[in-house]
Structure formats: C-alpha cells, structure tokens
C-alpha cells in the first residue's frame, strides 16, 4: 500500500509540472499561413472543444423551438374539444336511459326525477 501512495504522489507531481509548462513548450511549430499560430481552435484551446458542442446543442434547441412555434402559430388554436351532450339530450333523458339499463332502481329513479323536476 505505501508503494501505491508513492506512485500516486509521483503521478500528481508529474501532471502538475507538465500542466504548468508554458504554452510555447507544448507546440513548437511556427505560425500557419493565416497567422493563427499552432493553437487549437484559433486560440480558444480546450475551451473551444467544450463550448463548441454546447453552442451546437443550443443552436439545435433554438431551431427546434422555432419550428414548434411556427407549427403552432400556423396550425391555429390547439384546444381539445369539450365533451358536451348532444343538444337534444336532457338530464331526464339520461335518467331514463340509466333506469332502462338497470343501473338504478325505481326508488332512486323517482327520487332523482323529483330533484330534476324541481329545478
């Protein structure tokens, strides 16, 4: 176990030393024909590799949102139809149907009929 700790300390020391080297030690090539130099992503470095995909996802989300909004705008209101009973059907008709199907007995039918007729 002490060997593993020593190896971890050595790896941490080496990685800290390498990461602190100046940028010139990482890329010793001359500037390209456009004068941007040897850096990745025109000087953005690793930030460009992280921010590039994030901006791509953001742009894709904006395009999808624009398409959804355009479809909704062109399609008109999207309201679900309300379930109304047909205009000729009254509460008494529904009560008669329930009594005819046997869902309620005669005493319940008479009580509800009185309630409906009272208003």
CA-to-CA distance for 77 and 49, rounded, in angstroms? Answer: 42
At 47, the pLDDT band (50, 70, 90 cuts) reads: low
pLDDT tens digits, one per residue of 64-81: 999 999 988 887 666 666
Residue 95 and residue 51: Cα distance in Å, rounded? Answer: 67
- Between 32 and 114, the more confident residue is 114
Q: How confident is the model at residue 21 (pLDDT cuts 50, 70, 90)?
A: low
Q: Do 96 and 104 form a contact (C-beta atoms < 8 A)?
A: no
**What does the angle CA 30 – CA 32 – CA 33 come to, to the nearest 5 degrees?**
135
CA distance 113 to 55: 67
pLDDT, residue 6, reads: 78
The confidence score (pLDDT) of residue 50 equals 78
3-state secondary structure of 45: coil
| Three-state secondary structure call for residue 14 | helix
């Amino acid at each position: 176990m002490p060997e593993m700790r020593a190896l971890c300390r050595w790896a941490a020391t080496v990685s800290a030393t390498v990461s602190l080297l100046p940028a010139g030690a990482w890329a010793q090539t001359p500037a390209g024909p456009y004068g941007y130099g040897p850096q990745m992503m025109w000087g953005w470095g690793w930030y460009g590799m992280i921010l590039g995909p994030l901006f791509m996802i953001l742009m894709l989300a904006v395009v999808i949102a624009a398409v959804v909004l355009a479809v909704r705008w062109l399609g008109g209101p999207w309201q679900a139809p309300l379930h109304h009973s047909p205009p000729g059907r009254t509460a008494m008709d529904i009560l008669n149907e329930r009594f005819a199907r046997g869902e309620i007995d005669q005493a319940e039918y008479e009580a509800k009929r009185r309630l409906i007729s009272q208003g």
